[in-house]
Amino acid sequence: MQDRLEDVRAQVQAALDDAMAGLPDGDLTDAMRYACIGGKRIRAFLVMESARLFGLRDREALPVAAAVEALHAYSLVHDDLPSMDDDDLRRGLPTVHVQWSEATAILAGDALQSLAFGLLTDPAIGAPDARLALIRLFSDAVGARGMVWGQALDIAAETAVEPLDLVAVKRLQGAKTGALIVFSATAGAIMAGEDAGPLTEYARNLGLAFQIQDDILDVTGDEAETGKRLHKDGDANKATFVSLLGLEGAQDKARKLVRAAESALDPYGEAAGNLRALARFVIQRDA
């Protein structure tokens, strides 16, 4: 799985570099490129591996994988802004608004979002109907029904009279983090016109396990490894899976979610080996 993950990282970085190669020189383009440096590329990996399950080639899935990572980069740039999470470190580097300015960060995020939708029009993806379906579902996943809605819930929770309960935290994270993960994991089925049900179940469990591990790392992690500031949720008294379940309870819940994610892949047999390995990886990672 690790070799394949490295391969996907290299392919996606090259695709993003190509997509930005013709943009005008200046701070905006520099900030866009900077925002796309590094990262685990788990969402891109999900796109590429889900496509493989249905016999699709990497060159058909690559524009979708690059679109997902461009969109994810935009979300991190905006999430780090002073008006949102106010972070100064991301992927081990100063955040975009620290490196340039808040205005440049906002514009770079806007431009990366537009770039993502443009990448989904690439004819290499397949038939026009498949591209339209991807664009529609992508819009739902990252907009006011998905990721952006989750961010709004997160901001509202900071000033709520009562901390969120477990149901509310699951709803928030299922939108903020989970929606794009579900899109990524089901992209191959959408492109192939196949049933996405098993992959949707897999991704929902994977997304929650991923977020729980993030909450665990916020308590137990090392900033040198994670590349971002830690203990912010606890300092802000925000409800997390760890604060609600306890550290051991959160770890146990993450393991159960990974088992459920792996079971959801049973219809695909050995072809889903990398996706099963990824599910185990998300709760073993230290960054």
pLDDT at 234: 62
Pairwise CA distance, residues 80 & 228, whole Å: 10
- Classify residue 2 as exposed, middle or buried by CB count within 10 Å of its CB (0-12, 13-18, 19+): exposed
Angle at 173 between CA 131 and CA 141, to 5 degrees: 15
Q: What pLDDT, on a 0 to 100 scale, did the predictor assign at position 221?
A: 80
Alpha-carbon distance of 103 to 107, in angstroms, equals 6
**Concatenated DSSP letters for 156-184?**
HHHT-SS---HHHHHHHHHHHTHHHHHHH
Given this model, what pLDDT does residue 66 score? 98
Domains, the chain: 1-282 (1.10.600.10)
Measured CA to CA, the distance from residue 272 to residue 52 in angstroms comes to 9
Helices (H), the chain: 2-20, 27-35, 42-53, 58-79, 96-99, 102-119, 128-142, 147-158, 166-176, 178-192, 197-220, 223-226, 232-235, 241-245, 247-264, 273-282
In angstroms, the CA 127 to CA 10 distance is: 26
pLDDT of residue 69: 98
d(CA 79, CA 55): 36
Q: Which of 84, 147, 62 is nearest to 113 (CA)?
A: 147
CA distance 50 to 280: 17
∠ at Cα 19 (203, 131), nearest 5°? Answer: 50
Q: What is the pLDDT of residue 236?
A: 67
Q: Residue 19: which residues within 8 A CB-CB, separation 6 or more?
A: 66, 70, 115, 118, 119
CA atoms within 13 A on the CB side of 114: 9
The pLDDT of residue 235 is 64
Q: Give the residue ranges of the chain where pLDDT is below 70.
A: 231, 233-236
* Closest to 282 in 3D by CA, of 62, 51, 5, 15: 5
Residue 161, pLDDT score: 85
> CA 166, CA 240: separation in Å to the nearest integer?
8
Q: What is the pTM of this model?
A: 0.95
Listed residue (243, 281, 39, 79) closest to 177, CA to CA = 79
Distance CA 199, CA 193 (A): 13
